[in-house]
Amino acid sequence: MIYMDHNATAPLDKRVLDKMMPFLTDVYSNPSSVYRFAQESKKGVEDARGFVAQLLGAATDEITFTSGGTESDNTAIKGIALMYRDKGNHIITSKIEHHAVLHACEFLEKQGFEVTYLDVDEYGVVDLEQLKKTIKDETTLVSIMHANNEVGTIEPIKEIADICRDKKVYFHTDAVQTVGKIKIDVKDLGVDLLSLSAHKFYGPKGVGALYVKKGVKVLPLLHGGGHEKGKRSGTENVAGIVGLGEAARLASEEQEAQEKRIAALRDKLQTGITEKIPEIKINGHPEQRLTNTLNFCIRHIEGESILINLDFEDICASSGSACTSGSLEPSHVLLAMGIPAEVAHGSLWLSLGKQNTEAQVDKVLEVLPPIVEKLRQMSPFWQHKSR
């Protein structure tokens, strides 16, 4: 199998599993208990907090463990909106965010909040002038993703943070696609809150973290036993947290070298596809883009049909379309970038990871062009165009 869908999830690193195993078997104590046996679980959790903090350039007490990117995003957005409701009820985000952000914002709109969804340019970069004009006295939070999961465009986070600081507005970034892939320093970026998820960088699924800068208050979503210093109640997912910690530790050591190696593979794939398949449109920013991500539109055919044909060849990829209520909706990200719906329907999205090899890239370059050719021969749009 050739797996090129790492932005959806990455395989669990064997070394991460090894670190987790004792906490799934012998070390089953509840970290909140008082006896010495509980201290072993507690140490596992606190060591992990240290590794995550180190990866982000944060302090350990600025890290709260969650059940993943979705919970971190929801906590940041609803938690700030509700905490500072007396100050104002206006939130700003962008049109290309993950649904964990967009749907949290839509929920707040139903609760009486006002949300502005910023436009992006043809590369998926947020409009900073529009951001400056949109911030008003009632604005309490701006939430803009660090890199987009579909097209890989990296947003100008430092500039956005500067704007927010000037206007005294909190700034959250969804860094689910960047943590473990590119170097991140929360102080250097200037963000107040940052979301991450373990399974995007070779950790386990169902665990993540939220960085909250010292002094920033977030209303908790979950109430209960007051775990995580009252910020997120619920007995800790100890094995998952230990796995996240180990994934973070490995990323601190290996991420830079991997980034370079994967970039070379992605570039080879991009060049090959552009040369071998006519009428291709590469999506995302030419330079400010995750080095593992390649998203392109293949005109006159459907992304879903390409995926099925690739699956027959044991190649796992993605397309921006989401199957909702029986109809194939084109990606909201590509539409926001001004790509017409009929072109967006033909999108294919490959995201590489550390297990991919040059031989696999060669295989995709061998298999994909004939699939496209075959589908185009069956496409009425292609037939019409060739007439």
Residues in contact with ligand PLP by CB under 6 A are 68-70, 73, 98, 100, 145, 149, 174, 176-177, 197, 208
283 bridge partner residues: 295
Can you tell me the distance from the alpha carbon of 80 to that of 103, in angstroms, rounded to the nearest whole number? 16
Closest to ligand PLP by CB, 70 vs 319, is 70
Can you tell me the distance from the alpha carbon of 69 to that of 210, in angstroms, rounded to the nearest whole number? 8
Which residues have C-beta within 8 Å of that of residue 179, sequence separation ≥ 6? 55, 56, 194, 196, 197, 200, 201, 248, 251
Closest to ligand PLP by CB, 73 vs 236, is 73
Smallest gap from residue 199 Cβ to ligand PLP (A): 6
Smallest gap from residue 152 Cβ to ligand PLP (A): 11
Smallest gap from residue 307 Cβ to ligand PLP (A): 17
| CA atoms within 13 Å, Cβ hemisphere of 7 | 25
What are the distances in angstroms from CA 197 to CA 70, 106, 133, 268? 8, 22, 32, 28
Closest to ligand PLP by CB, 39 vs 288, is 288
Closest to ligand PLP by CB, 206 vs 369, is 206
Contact (CB, 8 A) for 73 and 100: yes
Which residues have C-beta within 8 Å of that of residue 163, sequence separation ≥ 6? 128, 131, 132, 135, 142
Smallest gap from residue 99 Cβ to ligand PLP (A): 8
Smallest gap from residue 174 Cβ to ligand PLP (A): 5
Establish whether 316 is a catalytic residue.
Answer: no
Q: Measured at CB, which residue is nearest to ligand PLP?
A: 69
Can you tell me the distance from the alpha carbon of 314 to that of 1, in angstroms, rounded to the nearest whole number? 5
Residue 179: strand, helix, or coil: strand
Tokens 């100890």 map to which residue? 238
Q: Which residues are catalytic?
A: 323
